[in-house]
């Protein structure tokens, strides 16, 4: 069975550049486009709208938004409006959110599983045209309803890493975005999601499990690693001790990276990234190396492989390289 390929873009660049990358990705055989949602970058929905207007086939969505920054009813409204721009090509990607980011804007994060679950419930009811009177642990509505119709189903992908969220995602999600690159992490995610699927009588093919990776490809493996290092530095800094221990990452090295990032010393932080860190938290190397690593993840049960930041030293060249040398290897 063919493996789908998705690609992540961070809307730090102007909308026209993201739209151009989206067109290139579509032409190179990518089936999915994910745009991150972070208050410090450009707005995710406007960025997705630009991508929608300049593409014809690619499926796109938030990768991922969270329940806290805007009310779930408005999230549903935004996704439904995007669906009018590109009917049948839109998905909602929803996750609990990043605690550090939310704290930076004074937003408290409580009951993440309930918040994600309730957001999905509200979304599906509103998309179905229902008048929604809802009382949850986190959210409530007193008769919310859209004044326009949505003619097709809009899938929901759940961003999940922890065991309970993965299990819930298997139960209620149409897809799961697993923010991991290492086979052991993907194997764990597939197992836990499978537990949730079993509880509601789903089959593995009913849920699209996507490995949402930090990725960097280059014909020169040193250049690929150099591009990946800044992203991996942030991943290491944000990883709790059990995750670092699992991947045999020296905690003192991780502390060194955290301290450097905290004071804005990016060269020092990036310089402290080791090959073991890059191997644990990214898919990185020549096309041949990447093919081997992606194949290993496919065997574990993923249905989609997402090429995440940084993609490579030169984004356009990297997209072309993936489309020409990597994607064709997974189309049978």
The helix or strand, by DSSP H or E, that contains position 209, with its residue range, turns out to be strand 208-217
pLDDT band at 101 (very low <50, low <70, confident <90, very high): confident
Name 192's Cβ contacts closer than 8 Å, sequence gap at least 6: 163, 166, 167, 170
pLDDT band at 285 (very low <50, low <70, confident <90, very high): very high
Q: Tell me: the pLDDT tens digits for 177-230?
A: 999 999 999 999 999 999 999 999 999 999 999 999 999 999 999 999 999 999
pLDDT at 173 over 90: yes
State the pLDDT at residue 284. Answer: 97
Q: Which domains does the chain have, with CATH numbers?
A: 4-219+286-330 (3.20.20.30), 221-283 (no CATH)
State the pLDDT at residue 143. Answer: 95
State the pLDDT at residue 103. Answer: 87
pLDDT band at 1 (very low <50, low <70, confident <90, very high): confident
By C-alpha distance, which of 159, 136, 134 is closest to 66? Answer: 159
pLDDT at 104 over 90: no
Residues in the chain: 332
What is the distance between the alpha carbons of residues 51 and 31, in angstroms, rounded to a whole number?
Answer: 13
Tokens 């065997």 sit on residue: 299
Tokens 């806290």 sit on residue: 68
pLDDT band at 99 (very low <50, low <70, confident <90, very high): confident
pLDDT at 20 over 90: yes
Residue percentage of the chain with pLDDT more than 90: 94
């Amino acid at each position: 069975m063919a493996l789908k390929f998705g690609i992540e873009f961070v809307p730090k660049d102007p909308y026209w550049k993201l739209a151009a990358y989206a067109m290139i990705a579509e032409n190179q055989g990518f089936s999915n486009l994910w745009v991150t949602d972070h208050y410090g970058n450009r707005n995710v929905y406007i960025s997705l709208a630009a991508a929608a207007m300049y593409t014809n086939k690619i499926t796109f969505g938030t990768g991922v938004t969270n329940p806290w920054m805007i009310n779930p009813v408005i999230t549903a409204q935004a996704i439904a409006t995007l669906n009018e721009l590109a009917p049948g090509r839109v998905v909602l990607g929803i996750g609990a959110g990043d605690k550090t980011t939310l704290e930076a804007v004074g937003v408290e994060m409580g009951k993440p599983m309930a918040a994600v679950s309730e957001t999905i419930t509200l979304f599906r009811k509103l998309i179905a045209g229902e008048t929604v009177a809802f009382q949850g642990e986190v959210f409530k509505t007193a008769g919310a309803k859209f004044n326009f119709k949505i003619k097709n189903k809009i899938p929901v992908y759940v961003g999940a890493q922890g065991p309970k969220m993965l299990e819930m995602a298997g139960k209620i999600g149409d897809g799961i975005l697993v923010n991991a690159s290492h086979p052991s992490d993907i194997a764990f995610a597939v197992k836990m999601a499978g537990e949730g699927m079993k509880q509601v009588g789903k089959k593995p093919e009913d849920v699209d499990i996507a490995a949402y990776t930090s990725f960097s490809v280059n014909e020169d493996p040193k250049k690929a690693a150099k591009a990946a290092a800044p992203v991996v530095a942030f991943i290491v800094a944000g990883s709790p001790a059990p995750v670092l221990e699992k991947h045999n990452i020296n905690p003192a090295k991780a502390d060194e990276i955290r301290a450097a990032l905290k004071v804005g010393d990016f060269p020092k932080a990036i310089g402290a990234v080791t090959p073991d860190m890059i191997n644990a938290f990214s898919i990185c190397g020549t096309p041949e190396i990447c093919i081997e690593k992606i194949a290993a993840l496919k065997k574990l049960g993923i249905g989609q492989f997402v090429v995440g930041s940084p993609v490579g030293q030169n984004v356009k060249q990297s997209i072309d390289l993936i489309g020409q040398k990597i994607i064709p290897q997974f189309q049978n």
